[in-house]
Chains A and B, each alone.
Chain A
Amino acid sequence: QKEVEQNSGPLSVPEGAIASLNCTYSDRGSQSFFWYRQYSGKSPELIMFIYSNGDKEDGRFTAQLNKASQYVSLLIRDSQPSDSATYLCAVSKAGTASKLTFGTGTRLQVTL
């Protein structure tokens, strides 16, 4: 079992819809959770992070964390074609000095 699992996609959503991206992790000691966006041929860029159970909103993005279910998700409201990219979930554990473990990413396609 991989430490961080994501559906590779592609996830196709129409413009204006809500895109829901999911991630599960295996280590209950994981304490911090990150979502990165990576455009084709570019480097990953941080979208947002979450530490506590519940929802965290930033503009059109909402991260949701459920530690009991070992599940973290990213919702993108009013999806735009410019949101088409691969979304990487990453987790870190306490005491690992910022070390992140990444999932393999979900490719999102926003269609016109």
Chain B
Amino acid sequence: DARVTQTPRDKVTEMGQEVTMRCQPILGHNTVFWYRQTMMQGLELLAYFRNRAPLDDSGMPKDRFSAEMPDATLATLKIQPSEPRDSAVYFCASGSGWETQYFGPGTRLLVL
């Protein structure tokens, strides 16, 4: 049963600390997306990659967020330094090019 995996599932940290979230896309999928979901803003696209190359990261605060795909089986999203307003659920999704996206279980982040 192929699925997107994300770690950690939950993260509590203090303001100013670095946070790293990891995602393993479905094997064979060449497109990876990072989303953030909050009650107020809903689901927002932060960045996405195709064939490991970044296509669009315009939704991401550049000064503190960074997204990378070091290889085809791993995508990372880092926040440094973290702030309380970054508290949200972060989803990774992967797709195989025809727009259908499959979501991972999410990382619930709380920054105190």
Contacts and interface: CB of A to CB of B under 8 A. Distances in A.
Interface of A: 32, 34, 42-46, 49, 88, 92, 97-105
Interface string B69-110: 000000000000000000000010001011111111110000
28 contacts: A32-B99, A34-B99, A34-B100, A43-B103, A44-B43, A44-B91, A44-B103, A45-B103, A46-B101, A49-B99, A49-B100, A92-B99, A97-B31, A97-B48, A97-B50, A97-B55, A97-B56, A98-B48, A98-B95, A98-B97, A98-B98, A99-B45, A99-B48, A101-B45, A102-B43, A103-B42, A104-B43, A105-B43
Which of B31, B56, B101 has the largest number of chain A CB atoms within 10 A? B101
Contact of B99 (A44, A88, A98, A104): A98
Interface in B13-33: 31, 33
B95 to A, nearest CB: 6
Contacts of A100: 33, 45, 99, 101
Majority SS at the chain B contact face: strand
Contact of B104 (A43, A88, A98, A99): A43
B42 A102 contact: yes
A32 to B, nearest CB: 5
Counting contact residues on chain B (CB < 8 A from A), the size range is: 20 to 34
A43 B105 contact: yes
B48 A43 contact: no
Contact of B43 (A32, A45, A49, A88): A88
Contacts of B42: 88, 102-105
Contacts of B43: 44, 88, 102, 104-105
